[in-house]
Amino acid sequence: MRDLESLSATQAVKALARREIKATHLLLSCLDRIGQRESTVKAWVSLGKENALARAKELDKGAITGLLHGLPIGVKDLYDTYDLPTAYGSPIYAKNYPRTDAVSIALMRQAGGIILGKTVTTEFATFKSAATTNPHNSKHTPGGSSSGSAAAVADFMIPLATGSQTAGSIIRPAAFCGVVGFKPSLGKISIAGVKSLAISLDTMGCFGRTVEDVALGVAAMSGDHQLAKVKDLHNKPRIGICKTANWSSAQKETANALALARHAAESICKGVIGDIKLPKACDGLSQAQSRIMLSEMSRSLSFEREHFTKKLSPQLIKQLAEGSALTYEQYSKDLLLAQRAIVSVAQLFSDEVDILIAPSAVGEAPTIKDGTGDPIFCRGWTMLGLPCINLNITSGPNGLPVGVQLIAGPGKDHFLLSVARAFALALPDPVLRDQA
């Protein structure tokens, strides 16, 4: 048996439910790993060792509580927790102790999950690099804004961690760190108790090392417990490759990842894999997403701008000014464009294709001084509210992970997970197949 901290979340909860391992031991293994690696990776804002150990002991003694019984979990520090400070990546909220858990965190605890600590988020989940490094190379970014969660899962510090995506904050860090990241349908997980960045876009999700793990995480976070049972595919899905309108931004390794993904998908797909162009209604969607996000941010963070300007980063102040300068008329137009794109893409999924495979990021993780990476390949999918999952496919020129995302039609979260697992099992490298 491997070290406990390297068990996948699904393996761990199975072993815990059968009383083959103890929650206490699993937790201590994770803490050991954190102890060894945290000074390099810097994934954590705070750890609640004592509470977590007390809870683990309780769970080891008591009945099996639920889906996550005894599983240690990392929580992005954008989510409120009643027993750990919650700073949203900003000095404004130093020593902020919320009165409650975010709804999704309360649901994870109810399912038996043990919140071990809070993971690093960039400032209010925006773009300025935070302290976390990429576990594969500490000179490189883990991506943002869910930096700590993606890095901690990749580095075997924790089997499961929560994230959130407004532009590309789950899929991009998952790709950069080489883990599975799942952004379910918009609205699948309650946003209550998570600091709001852009209300039309904020989507909650999680990171794990396998498809089954992220299914488990989102099952608990949403209350849709059936989601944890990833079903086998009975019919071959129609799969298309979607390079998107931003293909000119893609680096060589992203093209390579897409080619490898196409090859793997051929064995599970119905008919031939074609290249799918998004409907004309999607023209300008990434730009509209970007403006909607800036406009909503300028309203969401107006309290902080009014009362704590000096504690905001210059980068964020600049973005808030950009958002404020956009007219409400422009914002309304952009929302209308998004609405039309949503309708036309729903039609595309109904008529032509079941799953799209698209780039997760421009390329491998840039160096930290170059920021957290460009979310351009995620913006449109986030705006469309479609379920997306990142899988690691290959590596780039610096040996860092490169992924692709699989995208399903509106509300097809269950189906996406089934296809993602089948797809992972069709990958050539046995290490990559472990993502299933």
Which spans of this chain sit near a second copy (rule: CB under 8 A)?
82, 93, 96, 99-101, 103, 106-107, 109-110, 187, 190-193, 195-196, 199-200, 223-226, 296, 299-300, 302-304, 306-307, 328-329, 332
Q: How many CB atoms lie within 10 A of CB 224?
A: 16
Instruction: For the CB of residue 383, give the shortest distance to a second copy in the complex, in Å.
Output: 14
Which residue among the candidates 8, 90, 129, 145 is catalytic per the annotation?
Answer: 145
CA distance 155 to 161: 12
Output the CA–CA distances (angstroms, integers) from residue 251 to 45, 152, 246, 315, 363, in the order listed.
33, 26, 11, 26, 5
CA distance 383 to 186: 9
Q: How many CB atoms lie within 10 A of CB 165?
A: 30
Give the nearer residue to a second copy in terms of CB position, either 29 or 185: 185
Instruction: For the CB of residue 334, give the shortest distance to a second copy in the complex, in Å.
Output: 13
Q: Quick check: helix, strand or coil at residue 249? A: helix
Instruction: For the CB of residue 52, give the shortest distance to a second copy in the complex, in Å.
Output: 17
Cβ contact 195:98 at 8 Å: no
Which runs of E-coded beta strand occur in 3-64? 44-47
Give the nearer residue to a second copy in terms of CB position, either 223 or 284: 223
Catalytic site includes residue 145: yes
Give the nearer residue to a second copy in terms of CB position, either 259 or 336: 336
Instruction: For the CB of residue 270, give the shortest distance to a second copy in the complex, in Å.
Output: 25
CA distance 258 to 139: 26
CA distance 220 to 214: 10
Give the nearer residue to a second copy in terms of CB position, either 50 or 306: 306
Instruction: For the CB of residue 106, give the shortest distance to a second copy in the complex, in Å.
Output: 4
Which residues, other chains included, contact 35 with Cβ-Cβ below 8 Å and sequence gap of 6+? Answer: none
Identify the CA nearest to 107 among candidates 51, 48, 166, 190.
190
DSSP per residue over 286-307, as a string? HHHHHHHHHHHHHHHTHHHHHH
H helix and E strand count, the chain: 15, 11
Q: Token pair of 280, please?
A: 């004309």
CA distance 109 to 220: 9
Catalytic site includes residue 195: no
Which residues, other chains included, contact 258 with Cβ-Cβ below 8 Å and sequence gap of 6+? Answer: 241, 243, 250, 357, 358, 359, 404
Instruction: For the CB of residue 336, give the shortest distance to a second copy in the complex, in Å.
Output: 8
Catalytic site includes residue 169: yes
Instruction: For the CB of residue 267, give the shortest distance to a second copy in the complex, in Å.
Output: 31
Q: Helix/strand/coil (H, E, C) string of 117-174? A: EEECCCHHHCCCCCCCCECCECCECCCCCCHHHHHHHHCCCCCEEEEEECCCCCHHHH
Give the nearer residue to a second copy in terms of CB position, either 226 or 235: 226
Give the nearer residue to a second copy in terms of CB position, either 227 or 427: 227
Instruction: For the CB of residue 2, give the shortest distance to a second copy in the complex, in Å.
Output: 34
Give the nearer residue to a second copy in terms of CB position, either 226 or 248: 226
Give the nearer residue to a second copy in terms of CB position, either 263 or 303: 303
Which residue among the candidates 149, 169, 196, 286 is catalytic per the annotation?
Answer: 169
Give the nearer residue to a second copy in terms of CB position, either 236 or 299: 299
Which residue among the candidates 42, 76, 195, 243 is catalytic per the annotation?
Answer: 76
Instruction: For the CB of residue 184, give the shortest distance to a second copy in the complex, in Å.
Output: 13
CA distance 103 to 80: 9
Which residues, other chains included, contact 158 with Cβ-Cβ below 8 Å and sequence gap of 6+? Answer: 30, 34, 72, 73, 74, 116, 152
| Residues annotated as part of the active site | 76, 145, 169
